[in-house]
Amino acid sequence: MQRVHLIAIGEATMFNLAIALSKRSNYLISGSYDTIEESALAILKKHKLLPDKAGWFPDNITRNLSAIVVGPDAKADNPELLRAKELGLKVYTMPEYLYIQTRNKTRIVISGSHRKCSVMRMILHVMKKQRIDTDYYFYRSNCSYENPVKLSYEARVAVLEGDEKQTSPIDSQPIFHQFKPHIAVITCIDKNSEHTYDDFDQYLNQFREFINLMEMQGRLIYHQNDKNIGLLVEKLRRDIVPFPYGVPKYEVVDGLTTIVSRKIRIPLQISGEDLLQDLNAARLACRQIGISEDQFNQQIADYQIQI
């Protein structure tokens, strides 16, 4: 039995992880929190994961635990965290533990200042229709999925949202540095994006390091018209294979957008060049795991924007 304790289980990323783990037959989940929103409380109650009472309880931290995961907002002086350190127990951050859970899978990590969720949803839409069991992690809870985290034994592929924000107050590493992708997508690097870094060069360096942390023979899919990404691609590791993407060839007739592939026209349920660029990124990512262009086009045709 795997006994996993989540410090700050009331945080969105943490209770989503708790739900995903609780669906495994040999996992026993415990947790703690001090304050919690009503919506989170209701979700934890529904899944029978709500701790008996609020507060931090160092006595719950024992050597019998298989893993301790600390939430992104937990403080360095958290009593349970201090107890774990006293006992010499390994404490994982949320992204560290996600990596542990997916380290034997092919990891597709979607990064960028914007449009990460859009690309992810397209990839997962095609994977589902191709009947490819896939684990996934959305950083944001408003992703139109009932549970933004899915972890299983069966899936051989994991699609992870690689956010560039810092992991937690006790770990200044960006979230996406933990994931070490086999296949990486960078949608854009926006100089005006909100971030926690001192200046843009420091922000840009997080993406440079993200690329350097890719697995050997990694595939890098990137927006070809983004000048900031271009600065990074100029000096790629020799083993990394780059795949630039832009807007696919398309037509709009009577309000219906159709992409043109190998002289075949595929009508879509979406429109607009931003979404078409996302589609191209998703197509290239799917190709890396063996989904052909024809298969992708067939499955993406009925994709609709999820609200």
Pair 42, 170 in one domain? no
Domain membership of residue 172 (yes or no) is yes
Q: Which structural domain, as residue segments, surrounds residue 16? A: 2-89
Task: Identify whether the C-beta of residue 159 lies closer than 8 Å to the C-beta of residue 135.
Answer: yes
Pair 200, 276 in one domain? yes
Residue 76: CATH number of its domain: 3.40.50.720
Nearest to 244 by CA among 159, 185, 160: 185
Between vectors from CA 166 to CA 178 and to CA 82, what angle results, nearest 5°?
Answer: 85
From first to last of the 307 residues of the chain, give the pLDDT tens digit. 999 999 999 998 899 999 999 999 899 999 999 989 898 899 999 999 999 999 999 999 999 999 999 998 889 999 999 999 999 999 999 999 999 999 999 999 999 999 999 999 999 999 999 999 999 999 876 566 678 999 999 999 999 999 998 887 778 899 999 999 999 999 999 988 877 788 999 999 999 999 999 999 999 999 999 999 999 999 899 999 999 999 999 999 888 999 988 778 999 999 999 999 999 999 999 999 999 999 999 999 999 986 5
Domain membership of residue 8 (yes or no) is yes
Looking at the 3D structure of the chain, how many domains does it have? 2
Residue 172: CATH number of its domain: 3.40.1190.10
Domain membership of residue 145 (yes or no) is yes
Domain membership of residue 306 (yes or no) is no
Rg (CA), the chain: 20
Distance CA(181)–CA(211), nearest Å, equals 9
Domain membership of residue 32 (yes or no) is yes
pTM of the model as a whole: 0.94
Domain membership of residue 305 (yes or no) is no
Domain membership of residue 307 (yes or no) is no
Count the neighbouring beta carbons within 10 Å of the beta carbon of residue 185: 29
- The first and second tokens of residue 215, run together, are 């697995």
